[in-house]
């Protein structure tokens, strides 16, 4: 029996999101039904509903930073029980057969993982995201949210948190390493907190110094404005790792010049157009240019547990669902410190 | 007292190299004077003398794949003695003070190492390369050439050998790894031999199959033509490491698609113009795009010893110095299997 859920949906690329209802699939043997408590607002949501990443089918509900409480479990579910505090991030399934899935790296599924919204689900319908009161997800793609993380603040960890945690962990941010975080938005402010907790020396590279006090409070050791050209001279050949959270095209050569020997710049956002990369800039200091996409399910759980252990919470602004369209406009002007989260009880 | 050496020099960007004489500096306390036996011909030599990498001062002697015999040593030289079989590669000095030099990575000297030709030497003159009968070099930048490597074949190891060995070693080519080598020229054919000796499964990606028999004989396990579009479908998501020896611009996205999870493509040549890189192509499989420049002195010695141990020699065509201009034309049409080496006794 399907579940009727309330939701906020886009009906076209140009119109505001509106309140509606959607049907969630039957709770299958391995599924859990989640009563959504909070849903984070990611810039990706806006790109998607506005068709900026390609045409989509409307109506479409977005949102992939979901926390809630399990309210029903299928007959074969073993990991979760009614009442559990859980989360769902950017993906809700994968092929489970390719070499990456078999290695537990579902986020790099070679057939493309099933994203939380706009993907074709196993029942043939288009997946619908978290701006909603309920969602049904196979237990294998459900995370456990530690009790010590405030529920509403946990939501952004499911995308912004894992997206920054994964490259920091993979490229060994830690004691003795120098990490730069480019951009102080939803992803960047979490990258600062996580990298600091990992023990790295953290530098923020932001367009201006307007968020400097926040950055230092979140754990940054240094804070520079990229609008100041001397920044790039001052910091030349400095960093082991630069995590670029800015999706818009940047002057990648300028950031490459900041890497010391064997340093890596990793993009966690992707501009639509290719970036021109000078091989000479890579060859100096044997630098690498890489990109990272969210994280695996096991790594997402590891991240949540890490955040609980280190008292890391995103900085959020809680909004009612009816405010979502205004919130979108504020995201587009970077007028949010640092993540909007929808109170699902208002949907 | 300076040494007068015979040499072949470029006198302009457009005229043939001509026989001439040059003065080599006094043998200082830490210097060795080398009677050059053989000098390899690198594509870089041609780019340089023709001004394709920027204006240079003429006359200019090029050549940075030098082997010879020590004929005089300075008072404080400790590592070499008269009669030793030695080599000199792409660099003859570095700042010795920067963090990379102090780490023994002189090839990544932050002030720029002193290249074997076209650099300003410590006596203020422009360094002159190996198409010559003699050269004076500080002992710290001289390599020992193992007895078991044929002398004339050892020359190309000093540039082509270390340029390919270094990334193969750094990115852990070895048993269980799949390595692709793009291009089957002077660098590529050595990359195949070295990667095979390291224990990797080696695939050559060449424009055509014209050198397939050679490639398999050198140790490649597989050989594909990049002119065949199905090659890129067949080999998608396959390699841990792609070593791109082609300096001309390539479709980097096509090669990125060949990398499996956490794979790296490393350029050892550098096209003059930036390459457009799709961040989405990097994000799939968490790929990296990197570049590598020659190798340190200690790693170059390691490479020579590795080649001796594994009986690796470049395939060469020995030429008389008077044939250098004709050889250049043949390099430009890829009509060389696989490296020209000048017999310095003919200079």
Q: Best of A241, A247, A283, A284 to disrupt the B interface by mutation (most B CBs within 10 Å)?
A: A283
B95-100: long-range contacts (C-beta < 8 A, 24 or more apart)?
B99/A237, B99/A260, B99/A261, B100/A261, B100/A285
pLDDT digits (tens, 9 = 90+) for A206-228: 999 999 999 999 999 999 999 99
On the question of pLDDT at B53 being above 90, the answer is no
pLDDT digits (tens, 9 = 90+) for A175-202: 999 999 999 999 999 999 999 999 999 9
Give the whole-angstrom CA distance, residue A65 versus residue A129: 9
Q: Is B188 helix (H, G, I), strand (E, B) or coil?
A: helix
> Both B186 and B118 in a single domain?
no
- For A233, other C-beta atoms within 10 Å of its C-beta total 9
A248 DSSP assignment: S
> Both B237 and B275 in a single domain?
yes
Per-residue pLDDT at A95: 94
> Both A24 and A124 in a single domain?
yes
- Any CB–CB contact under 8 A between B291 and chain A? yes
- Tokens describing residue B2: 């300076």
> Both A340 and A210 in a single domain?
no
Residue A241 is assigned to a structural domain of this protein? yes
Give the whole-angstrom CA distance, residue A110 versus residue A112: 5
User: Are the beta carbons of A304 and A325 closer than 8 angstroms?
Assistant: no
Q: Best of A282, A293, A295 to disrupt the B interface by mutation (most B CBs within 10 Å)?
A: A282
Whose tokens are 């750094």? That residue is: B170
Q: Best of B94, B105, B274 to disrupt the A interface by mutation (most A CBs within 10 Å)?
A: B274
Residue of chain B nearest A293, judged by CA positions: B283
| Residues in contact with B61: Cβ distance below 8 Å, sequence separation at least 6, in sequence order | B7, B8, B9, B10, B22, B117, B128, B129, B130, B131, B132
- Any CB–CB contact under 8 A between A100 and chain B? yes
Residues in a beta bridge with A40? A341
Per-residue pLDDT at A258: 98
Residues of B within 8 A of A275 (CB-CB) are 276-277, 279
> Both B54 and B96 in a single domain?
yes
Interface contact A276-B279, CB threshold 8 A? no
Per-residue pLDDT at B165: 98
> Both A41 and A139 in a single domain?
yes
> Both B28 and B146 in a single domain?
yes
Nearest C-alpha of chain A: how many angstroms from B178? 15
pLDDT digits (tens, 9 = 90+) for A6-43: 999 999 999 999 999 999 999 999 999 999 999 999 99
Q: Is A340 helix (H, G, I), strand (E, B) or coil?
A: strand
Alpha helices (H) along chain A? 43-49, 99-102, 151-154, 160-170, 186-198, 212-218, 230-234, 252-256, 279-283, 297-309, 324-332
Interface contact B283-A277, CB threshold 8 A? no
Interface contact B288-A292, CB threshold 8 A? no
Distances (CA, A) of B96 to A100, A281, A286, A289: 44, 22, 18, 28
On the question of pLDDT at B175 being above 90, the answer is yes
Average pLDDT over residues A67-94: 98
Residues of A within 8 A of B283 (CB-CB) are 267, 270, 291-293
> Both A258 and A322 in a single domain?
no
Residues of A within 8 A of B286 (CB-CB) are 108, 170, 290-293
pLDDT band at B248 (very low <50, low <70, confident <90, very high): confident
> Both B165 and B97 in a single domain?
no
Interface contact B170-A275, CB threshold 8 A? no
Cα angle B27, B32, B33; round to 5: 75
- Tokens describing residue B88: 């000199």
The residue count of chain A comes to: 347
pLDDT digits (tens, 9 = 90+) for A299-322: 999 999 999 999 999 999 999 999
Residues of A within 8 A of B290 (CB-CB) are 282, 286-289
Nearest C-alpha of chain B: how many angstroms from A80? 30
| Residues in contact with B163: Cβ distance below 8 Å, sequence separation at least 6, in sequence order | B187, B268, B292, B293, B294, B295
Nearest C-alpha of chain A: how many angstroms from B167? 9
Q: Best of A242, A286, A289, A299 to disrupt the B interface by mutation (most B CBs within 10 Å)?
A: A286
Give the whole-angstrom CA distance, residue B196 versus residue B83: 33
pLDDT digits (tens, 9 = 90+) for B102-160: 999 999 999 999 999 999 987 788 999 999 999 999 999 999 999 999 999 999 999 99
Please, what's the b/e burial string for A6-31 (b: 16 or more CB within 10 A of its CB; e: otherwise)?
bbbbbeeeeeebeebebebbebeebb
Residue B201 is assigned to a structural domain of this protein? yes
Give the whole-angstrom CA distance, residue A94 versus residue B47: 49
Interface contact B286-A293, CB threshold 8 A? yes
pLDDT digits (tens, 9 = 90+) for A274-298: 999 999 999 999 999 999 999 999 9
Residue B305 is assigned to a structural domain of this protein? no
Longest dimension (CA), chain A: 63
- Any CB–CB contact under 8 A between B103 and chain A? yes
| Residue among B279, B283, B292 whose CB faces A283 most closely | B292
- Interface size between A and B, measured as CB pairs under 8 A: 104
Per-residue pLDDT at B318: 98
Domain count for chain B: 2
> Both A141 and A248 in a single domain?
no
Give the whole-angstrom CA distance, residue B209 versus residue B228: 10
- Any CB–CB contact under 8 A between B99 and chain A? yes
| Residues in contact with B283: Cβ distance below 8 Å, sequence separation at least 6, in sequence order | A267, A270, A291, A292, A293
Residues of A within 8 A of B260 (CB-CB) are 99
The DSSP element (H or E) to which B297 belongs, if any, is helix B297-309
If contacts are CB pairs under 8 Å, which of residues 292-311 in chain A contact chain B? 292-293
Residue A147 is assigned to a structural domain of this protein? yes
Residue A306 is assigned to a structural domain of this protein? no
The string of DSSP codes covering B301-346 is: HHHHHHHHHTT----EEEEEGGGHHHHHHHHHTT--SSEEEEEGGG
Does the complex come out with an ipTM higher than 0.90?
A: yes
Residue A211 is assigned to a structural domain of this protein? yes
The DSSP element (H or E) to which A224 belongs, if any, is strand A222-225
Q: Which residue range is the domain that position A244 belongs to?
A: 161-291
Interface contact A285-B108, CB threshold 8 A? yes
The DSSP element (H or E) to which B4 belongs, if any, is strand B3-9
Residue A304 is assigned to a structural domain of this protein? no
What is the SS3 string spanning A287-313?
CEEEECCCCCHHHHHHHHHHHHHCCCC
- For A55, other C-beta atoms within 10 Å of its C-beta total 7
Give the whole-angstrom CA distance, residue B257 versus residue B8: 44
Phi and psi based region of residue B124 (left: phi greater than 0; alpha: psi -120 to 50; beta: remaining): left
Per-residue pLDDT at A110: 96
Query: Which among B187, B174, B165 is positioned nearest to B299, based on CA atoms?
Result: B165
pLDDT band at A145 (very low <50, low <70, confident <90, very high): very high
Interface contact B286-A289, CB threshold 8 A? no
Task: Please report, for the domain that includes residue B231, its CATH number.
Answer: 3.40.50.720
Omega before A134 within 30 of 0, i.e. cis: no
> Both B146 and B185 in a single domain?
no
> Both B14 and B155 in a single domain?
yes
Omega before B338 within 30 of 0, i.e. cis: yes
Interface contact A280-B288, CB threshold 8 A? no
A26 DSSP assignment: P
Residues of B within 8 A of A110 (CB-CB) are 237
B236-240: long-range contacts (C-beta < 8 A, 24 or more apart)?
B237/A99, B237/A110, B237/B261, B237/B285, B238/B178, B238/B180, B238/B203, B239/B178, B239/B179, B239/B180, B239/B203, B239/B263, B240/B171, B240/B172, B240/B173, B240/B177, B240/B178, B240/B179, B240/B264
pLDDT digits (tens, 9 = 90+) for B319-331: 999 999 999 999 9
Give the whole-angstrom CA distance, residue B256 versus residue B279: 10
The residue count of chain B comes to: 347
- Tokens describing residue B142: 């001289």
Q: Best of B282, B285, B293, B296 to disrupt the A interface by mutation (most A CBs within 10 Å)?
A: B282
Task: Please report, for the domain that includes residue B151, its CATH number.
Answer: 3.90.180.10
Interface contact B289-A271, CB threshold 8 A? no
The string of DSSP codes covering A28-77 is: -TTEEEEEEEEEE--HHHHHHHTTBTB---SSB-----EEEEEEEE-TT-
Residue A301 is assigned to a structural domain of this protein? no
């Amino acid at each position: 029996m399907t579940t009727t859920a309330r939701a906020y949906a886009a009906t076209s690329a140009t119109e505001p999101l509106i309140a509606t209802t959607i049907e969630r699939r039957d709770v299958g043997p391995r599924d859990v039904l989640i009563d959504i408590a909070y849903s984070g607002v990611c810039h990706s949501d806006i790109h998607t509903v506005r068709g900026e990443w390609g045409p989509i089918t409307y109506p479409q509900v977005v949102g992939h930073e979901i926390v809630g409480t399990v309210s029903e479990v299928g007959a074969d579910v073993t990991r979760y029980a009614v009442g559990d505090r859980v989360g769902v991030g950017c993906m809700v399934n994968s092929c489970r057969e390719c070499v990456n899935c078999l290695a537990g790296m579902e986020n790099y599924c070679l057939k493309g993982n099933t994203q939380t919204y706009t993907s074709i689900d196993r029942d043939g319908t288009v997946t619908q995201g978290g701006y909603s009161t309920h969602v049904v997800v196979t237990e294998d793609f459900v995370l456990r949210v530690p009790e010590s993380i405030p529920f509403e603040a946990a939501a952004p960890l499911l995308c912004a948190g894992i997206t920054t945690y994964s490259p920091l962990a993979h490229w060994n941010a830690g004691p003795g390493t120098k990490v730069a975080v480019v951009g102080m938005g939803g992803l960047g402010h979490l990258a600062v907190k996580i990298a600091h907790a990992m023990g790295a020396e953290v530098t923020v590279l932001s367009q201006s110094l307007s968020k400097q006090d926040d950055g230092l409070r979140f754990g940054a050791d240094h804070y520079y404005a990229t609008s100041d050209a001397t920044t790039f001279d001052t910091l030349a050949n400095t960093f082991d790792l630069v995590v670029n959270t800015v999706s818009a095209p940047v002057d990648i050569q300028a950031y490459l010049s900041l890497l010391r020997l064997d340093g890596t710049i990793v993009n966690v956002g992707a501009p639509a157009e290719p970036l021109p990369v000078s091989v000479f800039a890579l060859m100096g200091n044997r630098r690498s240019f890489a990109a990272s996409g969210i994280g695996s399910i096991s790594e997402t759980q590891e991240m949540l547990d890490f955040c609980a252990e280190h008292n890391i919470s995103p900085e959020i602004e809680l909004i009612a669902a009816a405010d979502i369209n205004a919130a979108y406009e504020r995201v587009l002007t970077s007028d949010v410190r640092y993540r909007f989260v929808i109170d699902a009880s208002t949907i």
